[in-house]
Amino acid sequence: MLGASVTREALSQGYHVKAQILPGSSTKVLDGLAIEIVEGNILDTSFLESAMAGCQYVINIAALTTIWPRRLESLFAVNLKGVQNIATLAQRYGYQRMVQIGTANSFNHGSKAAPGDENQPYTGDQFKMDYMDSKYEAQCHLLQMHQKHDFPVVILNPTFMIGPFDSGPTSGRMLLELYKNKLPGYAGGGKNFVYSKDVAVATVNALKMGRVGQCYIVGNENLYFKEMFQKAAQVFGQPFKIKQFPGFAINLVGAINSIIARLTGKTPQLSYSMAKMASVKQFYSPAKARTELQLPSTPIEVAIADCIGWYKENGYLPSNNS
């Protein structure tokens, strides 16, 4: 989702783009773009040595985002070792800058009145998820490289992204369920939501803007899930019917699902860790990125409309909601 938008933004800003994808992956969201595509894996250092030679900048978006099972060795392989591989070569080749896509979860969240920012400590270890821990460790590694070797890295920490090209689907799955009237309800928590195209603008801007050795929370609107789904229903032209589930009920369902998943080996729609996170108010301030990276602040309604429009155009939904 983000890579497709970053590629388009980089082209619009006049960069020549080489895009790395995993062997055999679909290139549909990149078809027709004037770019060079190379197939390879960031865990393959010989591939990286060849693919990264001759470039001036690198933007690393590659990551595993699996949150079930919570503990998975491959998460650290890709999200930490892969990042180390890229950074080592970027330093060896004298790259002008590396932009790493991290996660806002690397900083503690706050309330709407006092949202979390880049000065907050990491508290994600409480969720015991290798995804969060691996992304945070990669961030620490890159910042240490900057401190010890003056490595020119800038880290962007997006919040919850909504937008087109979400071929998973991943973050837009809940919008699909709401659109189809299949979303059973919502939790009492909330998130900071941001348009993925705005994240792409800030990402490409970070090649020249911002300060090396710094992190930037890239977000926009702090919304409770109720507020987010109300906005989405309005964009869809649907009545807002879904109800809030009590926290204890969500946690109970998540716990039962996790037990079943361990027994069957099937990924649960809602695990206990997911249930716990759904009740957390994960609110952040994007003020630093707005000031230093010229991060746009597109209304989330635009992001929702773009996301659902892309789903319709690409066969995830009927073209009309009948």
Number of domain units in the chain: 1
Q: And the tokens for 134? A: 């691996």
Q: Which positions ≥6 away from 206 have C-beta within 8 Å?
A: 97, 99, 154, 156, 216, 293
Give 24's contacts (C-beta < 8 A, 6+ positions apart): 39
Q: 25 in a domain, yes or no?
A: no
Q: For the domain that residue 302 is a member of, what is the CATH number?
A: 3.40.50.720
pLDDT tens across the length of the chain (322 residues): 999 999 999 999 999 999 999 999 999 999 999 999 999 999 999 999 999 999 999 999 999 887 656 678 889 999 999 999 999 999 999 999 999 999 999 999 999 999 999 999 999 888 888 999 999 999 999 999 999 999 999 999 999 999 999 998 999 999 999 999 998 889 999 999 999 999 999 999 999 999 999 999 999 999 999 999 999 999 999 999 999 988 777 778 777 877 887 788 887 777 767 777 778 899 999 999 999 999 999 999 999 999 999 999 999 987 654 4
Please tell me the distance from the alpha carbon of residue 284 to that of residue 294, in angstroms, as a whole number: 17
**Residue 239: inside a domain:** yes
* Domain membership flag for residue 20: no
Neighbouring CB atoms inside 10 A of 284's CB total 28
Stated pTM of the model = 0.94
Q: Which of 5, 55, 13, 60 is nearest to 208 (CA)?
A: 13
> Residues 6 or more apart from 19 whose CB is under 8 A from it?
3, 7, 30, 35, 36, 37, 38
From residue 304, alpha-carbon distances to 103, 120, 174, 228 in Å are 21, 29, 11, 10
Q: Residue 183 in 3-state DSSP?
A: coil
CB proximity list for 18: less than 8 A, separation 6 or greater: 35, 36, 37, 38, 51, 55
Q: Decide if 322 is inside a domain.
A: no
By residue range, what is the domain housing residue 186? 38-313
- ω into residue 169 within 30 of 0, thus cis? yes
Considering the domain boundaries, does residue 106 fall inside one?
yes
Q: Report if residue 215 sits inside a domain.
A: yes
Tell me if 143 is assigned to some domain. yes
In a domain, residue 257? The reply is yes
